[in-house]
Chains A and B, each alone.
Chain A
Amino acid sequence: MTTLAARQLRRVLVALDPAAQCRAALETAARLAAEREAELVGIFVEEADLLQAAALPVTQVIRDTDFMLDALDPSKMQQGLRAWAAQARAALDAVAARWHVQASFRVIRGSVGEALLAEADGYELIALGTVSRASQRRRFGGTARLIARAAPCAVLLMRGVQQPGEAVVVLYEGSEQALALGRELADLNGQPLSVLAPGEALAEAARAWLAERGPDAKVEVLAETAAAPLAARLGRAAAGIVVLERKGKLGGQIDVEAVLAGPASSIVLVG
């Protein structure tokens, strides 16, 4: 498994999707790549289910424009997916040009989560946007859960754009990678950094690490470590980005979707 450590970010994969949340993930991934001089690879997945559905005789589409029914066929679906892919590429090119990042773009076909996992080897970070609309939760929510659970590298899930003043909160269970990435993300948007540690020893270690490398951060010891209230606590505290250690005792238990359902707009899983 590839680990993300300072100066070791070489390739970043970003899942491209027409949703606005994808733009936030793309922007953050590009800025991280620019900071570390890493390569950015954008992947657009032509979802196989959509092509299958278009070929079914019972499937019609409710048009976005007027909510009227329209016939659907594979060629029309293919055209639509190509249009999405073109938009995704344009967005990638624009962001890469803005941050002077070396970027490439690929289109693959399959189930989004599985296709991304299949591509994930060789990357230090996968970034993707996630949405909260019920209608899309099945597709992307499932994807986010799958990636969060099974990705062989760090994962950045973004639900929205970071706002100034929102904190980056690291749930520190001993991973320097979590602290490093938290600090990096806080720097990107000038956000305050906050560290929660389950125990005084870890809190002290975090303070020492931060004292050496900066910046000033608030380090607190967690009193409550049960998964559900901890998820709620993170949501309340963060209102921004939460960094979890996937293999940590606490981080591994936390329901990502439960955190994202709160005020926090993004989550990072490391380790």
Chain B
Amino acid sequence: MTRQTKGGAPAQVAPKTAALPAAALCWRCTADQFTFESTEELEDLTEVIGQDRAVEAIRFAIGMARPGYNVYALGPAGTGKHTLVRQFLEEHAATAGPPDDWCYIGNFGDQRKPTALRLSAGRGAVFQADMESFVNEVRDALRSAFESDQYRTARQVIEEAFKERQEAAMGEVEKEAEAERIALLRTPVGFAFAPVSEGRVVAPEVFQQFPEAERQRIQQVIEGLQKKLQDVLRQTPVWMKETREKLRKLNNETATFAVGHLIAALRKRYEDLPAVLAYLDAVNEDVIDNVEAIVNAPERGAPGAAETSDGHPLFRRYRVNLIVDNQGQQHAPVIYEDDPNYDRLIGRVEHRAEMGALLTDFHLIRAGALHRANGGYLMLDALKLLTKPMAWDGLKRVLKAREIRIESAMQAMGLLSTVTLEPEPIPLDVKVVLVGERLLYYLLAELDPEFGRLFKVAADFDERIERNADNSLRMARLLATMARREKLRPFDGGGVARALEFSARQAGDSERLSTMLEELADLLREADYWAGVNGRARVGKDDVQQAVDAQVHRLDRVRERIQEEIRRGTIMIDSQGRTVGQVNGLSVMQLGGFAFGRPSRITARIRLGKGEVIDIEREVALGGPLHSKGVLILGGYLSAHYAHERPLSLSASLVFEQSYGGVDGDSASSAELYALLSAIAEVPIDQSFAVTGSVNQYGQVQAIGGVNEKIEGFFDLCAARGLTGSQGVLVPAANVKHLMLHRRVVEAAEAGQFHVYPVETIDQGIEILTGMPAGERDADGRFPEGTLNHRVESRLIDLADKRRAFGALQRGEGAP
């Protein structure tokens, strides 16, 4: 249903603004613009297109060997940031040698703090193998030494010396006792002396029959013997200690001799590395300290051999945990960590379950991406990094300290009090490149004061480049390179041309080409697929077009449903007839990676009021701030443009009809103003038109986004209903350069069936929409009669008068 014209139909005049010629609606690229027949003739493109700023930044950062000159490569996804950054890093890494290897070795002084050991690239693995051989040989060497006759004899001499010393001392007491006919007895609780007769202890009753003097003598003798034996026994622990010391000395000498040649051979191999020599000395000392345990350690697999999967704990301590192995590497590393969680970044200390307890040692220290990238470059995805708990904080801590200290996230937060390892930190020399969206960069820069100090270089990737002959040819070469790399069919000139059009459409600008290479690569692959389906050896423009159409078709279910409901009248949009206070606005819906235009009916109603323009969308919290701003500008335009000597005395309401979701952006503000002017002037608007564009307080129509999708949205509706030849869309003149419309629109324009009007001012637009001249103020400052502006101003003056009269009536002043 439409509201019909009030106050008679205005005089119809031809609009001053002409529709755009069809050629202006889209940049057409044709095969004859190229000098090649197919991409087979084109050389590979080695340079980067359109990213001079980013390339310069990356080169600068690579060359800047100072702390904090890490890089944030920012730009939309699909611009080839990752590929380009990696390419540059690898190029530069190829000019540098491989970094050193890193090992963790046992710290025999404090096992909680394993020692980090640095060796030149490749020597880590050799050292690890050498220590493995040492472990395999040391037990046999020690056992041979400790089972030798020489050792046994020497040990027996020491032990016998102790026994003889003890026996001599006790024998002396015993001999003295024997002389007094006293026996030394071993009882369950200790030693005792008792008088004997004929080799037997004297019976108590016999003893009682001894003379008193004899009994006392015996008692005195026994007391003396007891004292002497006590002295001997008290000396025994001292002698035992001395014996132990002698045995220990013997063991040390034996072990030193047995292990000495093993250690000496190792020392010779690593004589240029003081740290390794110090470690070997410590190993030597530790082996000697633990020689008995080593010799007596059960064989592997024997009962009671408390072994881990890596062997007996006694021998694990001499093995080497090689955490960074650059053996075979020719260049500095370029590492991309796909899953940059805290542990994978910083490294971790693992634990193994043993008898219900979690145990660890330095062999369970695992390297993180920073270890692997040390001496080279580390690439990380910024979003992934920021969404992993503690990973960002961990990275910053490491970069600030310039050393990798492996500690768990719980330790880093100070929440862990369990005893665990504290591996010695490893010095860090790495260039980190974060790759991510611009928004993340700006948020980090704004919210994290450390970000700027640690990531001093921003490599800003542009998503589009100027379209000129040179860039078009470079894009064609890029396309040829991609096709060859991906083993696609060659593209003929038409195929390349169509792909470039696609690129311009992706850029949303007929004067630009998109650098969103991922989308272009997808198109090439899909076009190649369709060429295969169509049985073609080369990919032509039809294949590319089919790929584009298929992409759209796969995604445009929602668009089709909306168009369908408009045609069925569920969503009320007129595409012909004339109605007061009603205009077709255009909005863009973005669903996933697919955007399309949707016509919306915008209506305006006015009444006597206090000069307010009510945005119903805002009132119900469906309008965003930009939309509200656009509506408020309308009030400013009305007040300044019409009857500025009188108060604006209307109350207007504006609404997006049948809009149930949020509305934002100011691209409908010109449409809202047209509806408002129509309602005030009571002049109908031709519903054959749809409108887009924002407006400022001076009535100038300003550029908006998504112009192509919006035009196509209204065109599709009109086409479905049948083009009348008078239908069209009003777009800001500033958007003409952005036009990259679909062929079906261009073809309709060529046939005069559809029109696109570039509009610079509201006056231009309202003339097209109403068919009535807008009118300019004459020398007296009045709009000429018969113009729309005159009608608007007259109505506003009328409303102002009514309001004044109404006000007087309310105050009791009677009729004016």
Contact = CB atoms under 8 A, between A and B. Distances in A.
A212 interface: no
A135 B188 contact: no
A69 interface: yes
A77 interface: yes
A62 B203 contact: no
A111 B168 CA distance: 26
A225 interface: no
Contacts of B185: 49-50, 53, 139
A135 B186 contact: yes
Contact of A133 (B170, B187, B233): B170
B191 interface: yes
> Which of B190, B204, B234 has the most A CB atoms < 10 Å from its CB?
B190
A53 B192 contact: yes
A68 B183 CA distance: 19
Interface residues of B, number: 37
A84 interface: yes
Interface in A48-84: 49-50, 52-65, 67-70, 72, 76-77, 79-81, 83-84
A226 interface: no
Identify the interface centre among A64, A67, A263: most chain B CB within 10 Å of its CB.
A67
A66 to B, nearest CB: 9
B226 interface: yes
Contacts of A60: 192, 222, 226
Given A72-B192, A132-B163, A138-B174, A56 B207 contact: yes
Contact of A135 (B170, B194, B218, B222): B170
Nearest to A55: B204
B187 A67 contact: no
Contacts of B200: 49, 52, 111
Nearest to A133: B167
Contacts of A67: 190, 230, 233-234
A69 B226 contact: yes
Contacts of A133: 163, 166-167, 170
Interface residues of A, number: 39
Contacts of B779: none
B170 to A, nearest CB: 5
B229 A52 contact: no
B187 A138 contact: no
A52 B202 contact: yes
B215 interface: yes
B222 A58 contact: yes
A237 to B, nearest CB: 14
Contact of A84 (B188, B204, B218, B226): B188
A136 interface: yes
B180 to A, nearest CB: 12
B565 to A, nearest CB: 91
A72 B171 CA distance: 23
B375 interface: no
Given A49-B183, A53-B201, A67-B234, A62 B188 contact: no
Contact of A52 (B167, B171, B191, B194): B194
A50 B233 CA distance: 20
Contacts of A84: 188
B494 interface: no
B194 A59 contact: yes
Contacts of B187: 50, 53-54, 61, 72, 77, 80
Contact of B190 (A18, A55, A62, A111): A62
A52 B203 contact: yes
A134 interface: yes
B188 A83 contact: yes
A184 B618 CA distance: 107
B726 interface: no
A49 B188 CA distance: 13
B201 A61 contact: no
A70 B171 CA distance: 22
A139 B186 contact: yes
B193 interface: yes
B507 to A, nearest CB: 87
Interface string A81-102: 1011000000000000000000
A76 B194 CA distance: 16
Given A52-B194, A53-B192, A61-B187, A134 B201 contact: no
Contacts of A54: 187, 192
A157 B207 CA distance: 36
Contacts of B174: 134-135, 138
Interface string B159-176: 000010011101100100
B184 interface: yes
Contacts of A63: 189-190
Interface centre among A57, A68, A81 (most CB of B within 10 A): A57
Contacts of A139: 185-186
Most buried by A among B187, B202, B215, B219: B187
Contacts of B773: none
A111 B167 CA distance: 24
B193 A59 contact: yes
A58 B189 contact: no
Contact of A136 (B186, B190, B194): B186
A53 B203 CA distance: 8
B771 interface: no
Nearest to A19: B186
Interface in A109-152: 111, 132-136, 138-139
B693 interface: no
Nearest to B230: A67
A72 B189 CA distance: 9
Contacts of A55: 203-204
A70 B190 contact: yes
B732 interface: no
Q: Which of A50, A56, A57, A72 is most buried by chain B, counting CB atoms within 10 A of its CB?
A: A56
B195 interface: yes
A134 B170 contact: yes
A17 to B, nearest CB: 10
Contact of A62 (B168, B171, B194, B229): B229
A134 B171 contact: yes
Contacts of A165: 147
Interface string B133-170: 00000000000000100000000100000010011101
Contacts of B222: 58-60
A72 B185 CA distance: 12
A61 B189 contact: yes
A59 B195 CA distance: 9
Contacts of A52: 194, 200-204
Contacts of B195: 56, 58
A58 B218 contact: yes
B440 to A, nearest CB: 71
Nearest to A79: B188
A173 B648 CA distance: 144
Residue from B186, B193, B203 whose CB has the most chain A CB atoms within 10 Å: B186
Given A134-B174, A135-B191, A62 B233 contact: yes
B192 A59 contact: yes
Interface in A17-66: 18, 49-50, 52-65
Nearest to A165: B147
Interface string A192-203: 000000000000
Contact of A49 (B166, B167, B194, B207): B194
28 contacts: A49-B183, A50-B185, A52-B194, A52-B201, A53-B183, A53-B185, A53-B194, A56-B194, A56-B202, A56-B207, A57-B204, A59-B192, A59-B193, A61-B187, A61-B190, A62-B230, A67-B190, A67-B233, A69-B226, A72-B189, A77-B188, A133-B163, A133-B167, A133-B170, A134-B171, A135-B171, A135-B186, A138-B174
Given A62-B191, A69-B230, A135-B170, 15 more contacts: A50-B201, A52-B201, A53-B201, A55-B204, A56-B202, A58-B222, A60-B192, A62-B226, A63-B189, A64-B189, A70-B190, A79-B188, A134-B167, A135-B174, A138-B184
The 9 A-B pairs with the shortest beta carbon distances in the complex, nearest first, are A80-B188, A53-B194, A134-B167, A55-B204, A134-B171, A49-B201, A52-B201, A61-B190, A58-B219
